[in-house]
Chains A and B, each alone.
Chain A
């Protein structure tokens, strides 16, 4: 199993550019989520999905879109990048058993100039 994979590992954007962060998991997990991690802020939930075709907003959804067309993939789209979106982004997945672990990808370090 590859677990949770994320691409790219690093990205630099200019203000106003758009891009998609890719996330895939091969554990057949129903639940997938995107977090951003900023210094001193811990993890903040951006969007999540409890299954293919179902997505919902987390704590900080503005400026981001997601879709879940398959169980495996959960891309995160930045519509018009802003410097405030400079952060480290983590994708995670888990089964929908309440006690289930969240498995994390290695992260994408995004800088918006």
Chain B
């Protein structure tokens, strides 16, 4: 079965420190990979995606993620965290062969950046 795992319900980081939010996936084919962010009482906003090419993808607000095919991972990273990065982060995967275009979502990771 296709699935996405975000193994940490919550990640706590001090402001200015690097942050990592983990995501691993299981799909039958080659994946499209996405990260979205949700601020309190808001909808989801796109951060970055991997389609093809360079395994290191850069996105909005200084975030980046690395696609690792052998480890089936797509961890989200930022070199220096800001308090304003505190939010709920979702990893999502779409199988390239899925004609229904469905996204498979992780359960989300709450990121808390402390001043």
Binding site for B on A (CB under 8 A): 31, 33, 40-45, 48, 50, 56, 58, 90, 92, 94, 96, 98-107
B1-50 interface (Cβ within 8 A of A) = 9, 32, 34, 36, 42-46, 49
Q: Is the CB of A105 within 8 A of B108?
A: no
**Which of A45, A94, A99 lies in contact with B51, CB distance below 8 A?**
A99
Q: Is the CB of A40 within 8 A of B43?
A: no
Binding site for A on B (CB under 8 A): 9, 32, 34, 36, 42-46, 49, 51, 90, 92, 94, 96, 98, 100-103, 105-108
B49 contacts which chain A residues (CB < 8 A)? Answer: 99, 101
**Which of B9, B46, B51, B90 lies in contact with A43, CB distance below 8 A?**
B90
Q: Is the CB of B46 within 8 A of A94?
A: no
